Structure 1
């Protein structure tokens, strides 16, 4: 089974963001959402990497799109690039990556 280094790196980035949010502001919601999205992303990208059909990339694309919508809304409210803007931008890029892999 091939390893999707970029997808797993993104999952670790999301988990670290949740941990930093918890340590910085004692936000258990940040920790929980970071770890849940990390698990969802890492499982879905590994499933997509090992699958023999292109439509398996739809699942990680949808998960990244949901993360983009959530963090994009937070960025619009706060106008803070870190962390909401950064996570929204990287989530959009990853959603586009997996969306294109599903189509092509």
Structure 2
């Protein structure tokens, strides 16, 4: 079974982002969302790595939701950090997982 290193790195990136958001602004929503999405992306990415190609759509859907939410926050705030960066990396991961599903 292959290990999805990009998926693991991305899930750690999301979880750490939530932790940093909590530490900087005492935002419990950032902590819960970051840890939840980080764990879900990690689990679905590892599950999908040992399955047929169609299972890559599970982590792709999570990355797409994260991209849309953070993309809308980026458009509202016009600040690249953190919303723009998370939206951009989520978009790249969504594309990667969709290409893996084909």
Unaligned runs of 5+ in 2: none
Count of residue pairs the alignment pairs up = 102
TM-score normalised per structure 2: 0.98
CA distance in 2, matches of 1:58, 1:36: 18
TM-score normalised by the chain length of structure 1: 0.96
Q: 2:81 — aligned with what?
A: 82
Offset, 1:85: 0.1
**Alignment pair present for 1:57 and 2:56:** yes
Deviation of 1:15 after TM superposition, in Å, equals 0.4
Matched, 1:93 2:102: no
Q: CA deviation at 1:50?
A: 1.2
Q: What's 1:68 paired with?
A: 67
